[in-house]
Chain A
């Protein structure tokens, strides 16, 4: 069966520090991968999605970036965090475009 791992679960980072969140999927090949952010009391906002290695589409201009160095690995990064980057970051995968997505347990990021 397929599983998705996301870490860390909780992170507190100072303003201006870098960020790296990692997500890996097991039990499937060539998944579609997604990074979402959910700010407090708000809906899920799609940040990036990828249909294959090295293929990244950005939905919202911001100081975040994403990379997919391997088929089942998706990384969210920032060189310098802002206070507004605080939120609940969720990685997800789907078997194909338009199919249901399955989420990792999320990373709760607080920028202080």
Chain B
């Protein structure tokens, strides 16, 4: 089982749609969880951290389920500018390195 797995997509949605991404991780000792977005040919940028109680930042909601070892990201009222690759990131284990999923490509269409 890969350390961090994501549905690669692509997800094509119309403006205003709600879209959800899921991510699973294999290391039960993982401590920190994040979502990043990466625009084409650019560096990844932190979108939000994911907390055990779940957290929301505007149109974005992140959830963590430790028992099932998965993380989710919900985007409401999608905008054209949300088009990007969304990367699930997990940290934990003996050296707390960050492990990235391969990303899920989202395209929001007008």
**Minimum CB–CB distance for B99 against chain A, Å:** 7
Residues of chain A lying within 8 A (CB to CB) of residue B1: none
Residues of chain B lying within 8 A (CB to CB) of residue A82: none
Task: Verify A42–B102 contact, CB threshold 8 A.
Answer: yes
Does more than half of chain B's interface fall in helix, strand or loop, or is it mixed? strand
Query: What's the tally of chain A residues with a CB closer than 8 Å to chain B?
Result: 23
Task: Tell whether A104 is near chain B: CB-to-CB under 8 Å.
Answer: yes
Query: What's the tally of chain B residues with a CB closer than 8 Å to chain A?
Result: 22
Interface residues of B (CB under 8 A from A): 31-32, 34, 41-46, 49, 87, 91-92, 95-103
Could you list 7 examples of A-B contacts with CB < 8 Å?
A36-B100, A43-B87, A43-B100, A88-B41, A90-B43, A98-B31, A98-B91
Task: Knowing A43-B103, A98-B32, A98-B92 are in contact, say whether A34-B43 is a contact too (CB < 8 A).
Answer: no
Extra pairs beyond A34-B98, A43-B87, A49-B97 (5, CB < 8 Å)? A34-B97, A44-B87, A57-B95, A97-B96, A106-B43
Task: Verify B100–A44 contact, CB threshold 8 A.
Answer: yes
User: Binary interface profile of A, 71-112, with partner B (CB < 8 Å = 1, else 0)?
Assistant: 000000000000000001010001001111111111010000
Q: Which residue of A lies closest to B2 (CB)?
A: A43
Task: Verify B43–A103 contact, CB threshold 8 A.
Answer: yes
Residues of chain B lying within 8 A (CB to CB) of residue A44: 44, 87, 100
Considering only residues 32-76 of chain A, those with a C-beta below 8 Å from chain B are 34, 36, 42-44, 46, 49, 57, 59
